[in-house]
């Protein structure tokens, strides 16, 4: 039996398989409100055999958006736009997760296909960014250091967004603590130069993440899984390390997280990454620590046998893919066919199942 297409239960949720869709920003929202594009984009993966689909990074406050075109969940209008998308995913047999995020010093930037690069000026609709310290990401405008009151506001915003997500019907809540965004900025000594209770030691640098986990777990109750996506290394000297990531992951689980979604990088422009198929899988294995912490692996996982081997090797409990789902929205159906696994197909597609 294929491990990739075996079920996985976390709290009260049973995932039909372990081949999942990573959060991928579409830069197509209007005032944080998702559009018809998002409905079509996300539901196609449910038809394509995904067990779990996690939405793009969804800002918990307006100033937490990566770009002015990012999705949000800081008001009820945004919640109501997500609800029919979640229903459509469920109707197609998949589960829906949302990635709650705050971009910190990497907010207020131009979307990838814009003519401009770097930070969006206030005159062009941008805003002042905030971060643990007033240290800019290379090429971006400098942020202001968040004071204690604004940190409390961020924690409250994650809590409120989590509540709206559950009201919209989401099955999984993922907290974005990776890719150089706000929570990752607090975790890394390259971006966190604070000398208060949120800076210095690893315990202090992890404080914001753990307080957010506490807040979201309080909303999620006993039944809803809470994931945390981390960058397990900054790929830069003096930055956040895999060993620190494993420790912080243990703390997050102790505070109520159920699974660590292991990625890497994104904090600094001078990172040096050896990119190759499955290059981040060893990081997941380090964090997993012989199965004590449930983890997912991600990073150039593009083939059925490759994903199956990640699970067979005990490196992860499930696999996220991103670009491969964009290339082939029916990646799950194809992977199951290649592995000889039997999974439900849309009745409209069954003529293509075997030949």
The pLDDT tens digits for 253-285 are 999 999 999 999 999 999 999 899 999 999 999
Q: Is 16 part of a structural domain of the chain?
A: yes
Q: Rounded distance, CA 255 to CA 215, Å? A: 10
What's the number of CA atoms in the CB half-sphere (13 Å) around residue 245?
30
**Who's near 167: CB < 8 A, 6+ residues apart?**
79, 83
- Which SS3 state, helix, strand or coil, does residue 193 take? coil
pLDDT at residue 147 greater than cutoff 60? yes
Given the DSSP bridges, would you call strands 172-177 and 95-101 parallel, antiparallel or unpaired?
parallel
Element (H, E) at 15: strand 13-15
Tokens of 111: 């979307």
Given the DSSP bridges, would you call strands 295-297 and 95-101 parallel, antiparallel or unpaired?
unpaired
- Which SS3 state, helix, strand or coil, does residue 2 take? coil
Q: Rounded distance, CA 245 to CA 296, Å? A: 14
Q: Is 216 part of a structural domain of the chain?
A: yes
Q: Rounded distance, CA 262 to CA 310, Å? A: 13
Q: Label residue 291 by pLDDT band (50, 70, 90).
A: low
Q: Is 97 part of a structural domain of the chain?
A: yes
pLDDT at 352: 85
pLDDT at residue 324 greater than cutoff 80? yes
Longest dimension (CA), the chain: 63
Domain coverage including residue 105: 8-352
Q: Is 1 part of a structural domain of the chain?
A: no
- Which SS3 state, helix, strand or coil, does residue 324 take? helix
Which pTM was predicted? 0.95
Cα 113 to chain centroid distance, Å, stands at 22
Q: Helices 281-288 and 242-254 sit at what angle, rounded to 10 degrees?
A: 50
Q: Is 268 part of a structural domain of the chain?
A: yes
Residues annotated catalytic, as ranges:
181
Query: If we measure between CA atoms, which residue out of 332, 282, 310, 299 comes closest to residue 22?
Result: 299
Q: Is 198 part of a structural domain of the chain?
A: yes
Q: Is 151 part of a structural domain of the chain?
A: yes
Q: What is the mean pLDDT of residues 75-101?
A: 98
Cα 349 to chain centroid distance, Å, stands at 30
pLDDT at residue 248 greater than cutoff 90? yes
* Total of domains in the chain: 1
Q: Residue 347: which CATH number?
A: 3.20.20.70
Q: Is 3 part of a structural domain of the chain?
A: no
Q: Which phi-psi region, left, alpha or beta, contains residue 68 (left: φ > 0; alpha: ψ -120 to 50)?
A: alpha
Element (H, E) at 94: none
Residue 351's CB is within 10 A of a number of other CB atoms, namely: 9
Tokens of 230: 């981390």
pLDDT in tens, 1-46: 899 999 999 999 999 999 999 999 999 999 999 999 999 999 999 9
Q: Rounded distance, CA 154 to CA 130, Å? A: 11
């Amino acid at each position: 039996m294929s491990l990739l297409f075996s079920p996985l239960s976390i709290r009260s949720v049973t995932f039909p398989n372990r081949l999942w869709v990573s959060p991928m920003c579409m830069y197509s929202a209007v005032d944080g409100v998702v559009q018809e594009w998002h409905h079509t984009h996300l539901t196609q993966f449910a038809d394509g055999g995904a067990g779990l689909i996690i939405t793009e990074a969804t800002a918990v406050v307006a100033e937490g958006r990566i770009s002015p075109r990012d999705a949000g969940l800081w008001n009820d209008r945004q919640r109501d736009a997500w609800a029919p998308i979640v229903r459509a995913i469920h109707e197609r047999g998949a589960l829906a997760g949302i990635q709650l995020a705050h971009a910190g010093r990497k907010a207020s930037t131009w979307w990838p296909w814009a003519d401009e690069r770097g930070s969006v000026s206030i005159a062009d609709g941008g805003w002042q960014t905030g971060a643990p310290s007033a240290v800019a990401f290379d090429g971006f405008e400098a942020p202001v250091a968040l004071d204690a009151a604004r940190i409390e506001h961020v924690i409250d915003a994650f809590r409120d967004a989590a509540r709206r997500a559950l009201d919209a019907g989401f099955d999984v809540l993922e907290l974005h603590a990776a890719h150089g965004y706000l929570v990752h900025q607090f975790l890394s000594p390259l971006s966190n130069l604070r000398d208060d209770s949120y800076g210095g030691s690893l315990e202090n640098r992890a404080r914001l993440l753990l307080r957010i986990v506490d807040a979201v777990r309080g909303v999620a109750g006993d039944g809803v899984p809470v994931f945390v996506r981390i960058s397990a290394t900054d790929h830069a000297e003096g930055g956040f390390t895999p060993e620190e990531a494993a420790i912080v992951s243990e703390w997050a689980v102790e505070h109520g997280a159920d699974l660590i979604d292991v990625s890497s990088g994104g904090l600094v422009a001078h990172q040096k990454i050896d990119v190759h198929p499955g290059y981040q899988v060893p990081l997941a294995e380090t964090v997993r620590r012989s199965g004590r912490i449930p983890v997912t692996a991600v990073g150039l996982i593009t083939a059925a046998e490759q994903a199956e081997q990640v699970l067979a090797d005990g490196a992860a409990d499930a696999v996220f893919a991103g670009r491969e789902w964009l290339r082939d929205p029916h990646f799950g159906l194809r992977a199951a066919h290649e592995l000889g696994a039997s999974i439900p197909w849309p009745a409209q597609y069954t003529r293509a199942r075997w030949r």
